[in-house]
Structures are given as structure tokens and as C-alpha cells.
Chain A
């Protein structure tokens, strides 16, 4: 291993493994080789590496003692502080030691610490409901700074925990962040106010959505499988969620909205408890309460009324059908 390479240790705390599984969907030619080419060396990953049992435990111990210099600690899954502050809802298998303890120790040694996925970033689904497990993120608890490591915590490399939020996160968000770190091309200015990498968090899911024409005319879906905009009735938060899902796309050419599902803003802290059923848009006097954040409400209402009255028949009728019932007309142009 080259001194300048970024060595990575990956731990799975209380999550579903989905962020790792998502990573394997990276459409890079060969994930392992492309990480390697970028100077990212994986010391150990619980799902992929060969070492098991004692050998794995030894790697962890040598990283914790500083014997193996640790470039980046990636944590996937929420940190469970329960029951009664003991952390015993999650012991690291085979070590007898609770995961919160391992994470504290290893984060203290790593140059950078990354929260992979919304569980590790904010607590995520693990912290929903009454949160009996006392789940939290590495450096946030919902949208409140703090979490396991504390609000003011900085890694040896001078950065707070890098929150690669998402449930799961897109594979590119992980590979590109690690690559940028390995290149030394990632600093405090590359993080948004919630410490998410700006390269994906400075976008809105709304950007590039194939339903944008329906959105413009407020031609809305009313039931699952309708083609219309999912924002007015179906609970979609794409206009508020920070992510590039409709521009970058998932699994070849997909996204939540392309699959007919609302964006539930899985990159945002607290997405797991929206205070309303996920598939419904909460409204006040018939107007959705969660409007685009950078637009005055009165404008939105006025524009919506105007655009609804101007909706072409094609857009209006297709919005409530599951396939195009009116196709764009073909004009006789007379061009030769």
C-alpha cells in the first residue's frame, strides 16, 4: 500500500446493510478495481473481505491502537445507545464490546470519518417511533447536532463527520466522496450545512424529474400508477429533498419518481417521521404545506391557479392515466 493511499475500514452498525448492497450496484466497470485505481484501499469490509473471526478482530484492534494507520472510517447503520445508555442493543459480534465503543475508538484514530447512509448520519429508520433502542447518528440526532460523537467533534483530518446521507445512498455518492478524499480534493467547503457532500446535496430531487411538465401545470396524480406529478397528492418531497436522484439516476435509468413512487426525502434528517402517512401530501385548506422552500407561498398558490387553468388537454388527461392516452401532436411543418 502506497503511503498516500486512503485506507478504509468499514463497520456495519444498526442498519439494514442496504448501503453496502447499493454500493455493489456501482456501474463502474469493476468496483474493487476502480476504487483501487483511485487510491482507495479497503482494509476490511464485513460483507466483502476474506477475513473472518479472529483475523477480522485483529484488524480492528490494530486500527484502534494506531498500528495500522486509518485513512477513513466508514460507518453504516445507526448507533444504538440503549438499553439505559449501555449500548448493548448492539455488541460487535465476536468481540464482546459494544459497537458504540468501537466506533468512538476508531473515529478517534481515523483521518476522516464518514457516515454512510441516513442511519449513520442522523439515526434514520432505526430511530423512528419511540426509538426504544436510543438510536442516533454519528454526529447528529435527527437534525440536531450531537449524536454519538458530539456537535463539536472533528476528525484528525480536521473535518466533522461527512454525512453521505440517503436510504440507501447512491453508490456514486460513496465512491466519489472516497475518491475525492484519496485525491486530497475534499475539504470543509465541500460540505453543506448538514455536512453532506455538496456535489450531490446542492441539487434537488426535483431537478431532472420526468414528471416536471406535469408539475409545471399542476397536473397531479391521484392514485398509484398515474403519470402526473406526485407532489400535490402523493406525498412527494422532491422539491425539497437535497439529492441528485433524477439527474444521476439509479440502477441504470431509474429513480423513485420514475418508479411512480414519491420522493420521501431519504437524504434529509428526520425523513422517517414525517408526521403524515408517506403516501399522502399533507394539506392546509387544500394547499400542500410542504411547498418548495425558496418560493413565497402566495406566489406558488397564484402560479398554481394560473397554470392549472392553462393545462393542455394532453397533460391533464395523461396525469390521471397510467400510460399516455393523448400523445404530443405531430404537426405538418411543410419543411422539405
Chain B
């Protein structure tokens, strides 16, 4: 039995260190560690509530709009404010641009490069995979970066700049779009659709979105070459990625993209059956984090570093829902939303292949929605509702970032922030053990993964969750 530390992990956002206990070439136990503490929750105390709009995006450069959305909705909740319809649509658009660009970036720049590694030189697919997906020098990187940057010019139009836009407001957005900008956005979405349909999927987005089961997906992939997604499916088959990185089998989504009536993606949990999410059942355990305090609901949460703590092995808290770890992310969102392919895949409990498929499926599902939203914009009508923050107030802001459930909780007293707590998606997925010794989702998913010399399996499992450690430790 040997204990190894894997890190620095590359092509994940921020710092991650995984400690593995290896028995007979397989992971017997895993500990996920974040060796960084920044202290946003402490920084925000005592600030003007609206200052959260400046600090929140800086929690994370990769999902800054999601953080802004959570801050805007926690403030709107505390103010009792409903966004202007145009503002709601514009925020959804900016949020969807970020989420989709994130899935796209993760697939090409963070996840696929591992298949180009020399360890796979003997595989039939290795030659083309290396040429296409090699980090930095592969043909995909050269193609993807300009396409991604062009898609993200939508952010310049929607919210001024990205990352870290200050345009996202509790009542909508700080700038009304003009008729010509509406047209420009539509063109940008259509350009991106063309890239997706020709290069990533080799089919219409609607056809991908309509795939109803894993068997249908396999038939579709076998029909003819299916772009880079097809290449992934072939590799996933050969490497049995459907058997790697088995999760906790419980999925949670806060739901997303508010429409005129309700959420486009519903809120809920799935553990073989669909249940309502009891927001009051969320709590953060700090038993194995270098933090002081006891298990609490985030509305009463505390964040106090305590670096000399024998049981501590990370700066990440352990969020639990009714005492249980939950997996969150695109797979969770689509399972809760009832997409048949996602439900079919998730029946196994979550794995490397399912997580990657769900992210790409989500691209195919959301882009056509965005085209509808752009059409719904009415330039000339208000984009921002105005409101006042009461001197004493409390609120919750629950949104879905690309990586899953993101929540902000605020309490305001004497016109200042009395408490601000953040639970990011990767905090759920990469949480450490709790008081009962129950490992977090990644820690469980790693158990059983081959971990010998030159084994890349651990890397695939970690990256299948698309971790974002700067978010995690905020």
C-alpha cells in the first residue's frame, strides 16, 4: 500500500492536490485538498451590500458571470425586486454565453488533451487524437481559441466586458441593448452554431438534443463521422470511461434561466427518483477543513481560518444536503430537468463519460434557446428595474454555474453586510470528509480507479467534474 500526492493538477482552474492511497494498483482511498485560502466571506463583511456586485465576480475568473448572477439574485431577494423582462433575458444570455463557452473550453482545452498523452501511444485512435487535441500545439487549440474569443464578443455587447462585468444588476442589466445590437447578437449565435454543427457535432444541434438514450447516442455516432464529439465517444468506448469515476448517485440542481413563467431548467434533486430540493437542508461541515466552527446552514455560516488543525486537509468546507454529499454539474442539471439521455446515463450513478456527454448535450440544448431569447428582446422597453436595499434584510441567491449549483446567502444589518456565505459547485463536488467520515463526491469517484505508473485515469476522473478550485476556496 502506498500513499501518493498528485499535484499540481494541470488544466483545472486553480489549486488542487489529491492524496491517494493505492492498493494493488488501484485507488483505495482519496482525499481532495485545496491548498489556497483567499477569504472573500471575511472581505465582504461590513461592506455596502451593493459592493457584492464588485467582489463576487472576482471569486472566479472562469465563471464570473455566474458569481455576478448569484450576487444579483441574492441582492434582489433581499430587496424584494423582480428584474425587468429585457434585463432578465439579457442576464440569461450573458449567463448562457459563459456556461456554453465554459463547456466548450473544458472539452477542448482542459479535458481532451489527456488523450494525446504518450501513455496512450499504443491505441488505434492515438495518432489522430494527438494531432487534434494536444495541449497548446494541437489543431483543435488553434481552431478553438479564435472561435471561443469570437463567441465571447457577445459579452462585450451584452455586459460591457468579460470576465468581471459590473453591468449585471439586481433589477436587470445596467445598459439597454439597441436594435442593431440585438441583430449583432443573433449573428454571433448563428456563427457559433455553425461551428458546433460542423466541427463539434457533425449534425444539427436539434438532432443532438433529441438523442433519447445511450443506445440512440451510440447508433447516431456509428452512422457517420460525428466531429470531435464522435472522436470522444470512440475513445470513451475503448477506455471504458463509462465505468470510470462512478459518483455518489445523488444529483442536485438549483435550476436556471428564469423565464416569464418559472425556470427553464427546474430546481430539484435526483437519486433514482425526482424530489423537491429543501433549501433549508443545506449545511456546511468544517470538520476536515482548516476552519473553525460547527456545521451550519449557510445563512448562519461562519468562516474563520484555523490553520493548525490536526484533522484538516483542505481549505474547502464540506457542503451536505440533509447530511449527504451531492453531485452537481451539467449531468445533474439535465437529469433533474428530465432529459431522457441524461436520465439514462445517470442510472449508473454518474461517470467520466456521462459527465462529458451531459456538458456537450447541454450546449446543443441551450444555444437554440438563446436564439429564441434574443428574439424576445424589445429595445426601447426598460432593461433595469430599480429598487432600494432595506437597512435590515436577508436573502438567498441560487443559480447554476457551468459546474453546477452556486449559492450566495446574505444578511444585511444597519445597511451593511453582516454575513455573506458562498457555496460553489466544486465545493460540493470536491468536498472533504464530513464529521461522519463520509468522503465527498470526487473522493468517492476516485476509489477503484487504476493508479499505477503512467496511469492517466485519475486525471480523467478529476477533469470529468471540471473542477474550479478558486471558486471552491473563495
- Asked if B13 and A258 make an inter-chain contact with CB atoms under 8 angstroms apart, the answer reads no
> A52-B8, A52-B10 known; A17 and B60 CB under 8 Å?
yes
Closest to B179 in A: A323
> In the complex, what's the smallest C-beta–C-beta distance from B394 to chain A, in angstroms?
20
Q: Which of A14, A27, A225, A323 has the most CB of B within 10 A?
A: A225
A310 at the interface (CB under 8 A from B): no
B-chain residues with CB within 8 Å of residue A249 when the two chains form the complex: 156
B61 engages A129 (CB within 8 Å): no
Closest to A254 in B: B156
Least CB distance, B40 to chain A, in whole angstroms = 8
* Of the residues A251, A266, A279, contact of B53 by C-beta under 8 Å: A279
Q: Is the CB of B53 within 8 A of A323?
A: no
Whether A261 pairs with B176 at a CB distance below 8 angstroms is no
Q: A114 → chain B, closest Cβ, in Å?
A: 17
Asked if A331 is at the interface (CB within 8 A of a chain B CB), the reply is: no
Contact yes or no, B45 A129, CB < 8 A: yes
B-chain residues with CB within 8 Å of residue A56 when the two chains form the complex: 8, 10
Smallest CB gap from B306: residue in A? A83
Contact A261 B174 (CB under 8 A): yes
Residues of chain B lying within 8 A (CB to CB) of residue A90: 15, 35-37
**Chain A 82-96 against B: per-residue CB contact (8 Å), 1 yes, 0 no?**
010010111111110
- For A91, list chain B residues within 8 Å (CB): 35-36
List of A residues within 8 angstroms of B51 by Cβ: 277-278
Check B39 for interface membership: any CB of A closer than 8 A.
Answer: yes
Taking a contact as CB atoms under 8 Å apart, the answer to whether B174 and A52 are in contact is: no
- In the assembled complex, the Cα of A253 lies from the Cα of B62 at a distance in Å of 20
What sequence of 0s and 1s flags, for each residue 279-319 of chain A, a beta carbon within 8 Å of any chain B beta carbon? 10000000000000000000000000000000000000000
Q: How many residues on A have C-beta within 8 angstroms of the other chain's C-beta atoms?
A: 77
Task: Name the A residues within 8 Å of B136 (CB-CB).
Answer: 32, 42, 48-50
Q: Which of B8, B117, B134, B307 counts the most chain A CB atoms within 10 A?
A: B8
Q: Is the CB of A93 within 8 A of B43?
A: no
Q: Is B116 an interface residue (CB 8 A)?
A: yes
Known: A18-B163, A252-B157, A277-B50. A92 touches B113 (CB 8 A): no
The residue from B37, B64, B105, B175 contacting A258, defined by CB atoms under 8 A apart: B175
Given A48-B135, A277-B51, A16 contacting B155 (CB threshold 8 A): no
Taking A14-B36, A24-B105, A322-B383 as contacts, is the C-beta distance between A257 and B160 under 8 angstroms? yes
> In this complex, what residue of B is CB-closest to A53?
B6
A93-B8 CB under 8 A given contacts A12-B14, A32-B137, A129-B45: yes
A13's closest neighbor in chain B, by CB? B36
Residue numbers in B under 8 Å from A322 (CB-CB)? 175-176, 382-384
- Identify 29 residue pairs between A and B in the complex whose beta-carbon atoms are under 8 Å apart, listed by A's number: A14-B36, A16-B59, A16-B163, A17-B62, A18-B61, A22-B163, A29-B146, A30-B142, A47-B10, A49-B135, A50-B134, A50-B135, A52-B8, A52-B9, A88-B307, A93-B15, A94-B7, A94-B8, A129-B43, A167-B164, A168-B61, A168-B163, A224-B171, A251-B154, A255-B156, A256-B167, A259-B165, A278-B50, A278-B166
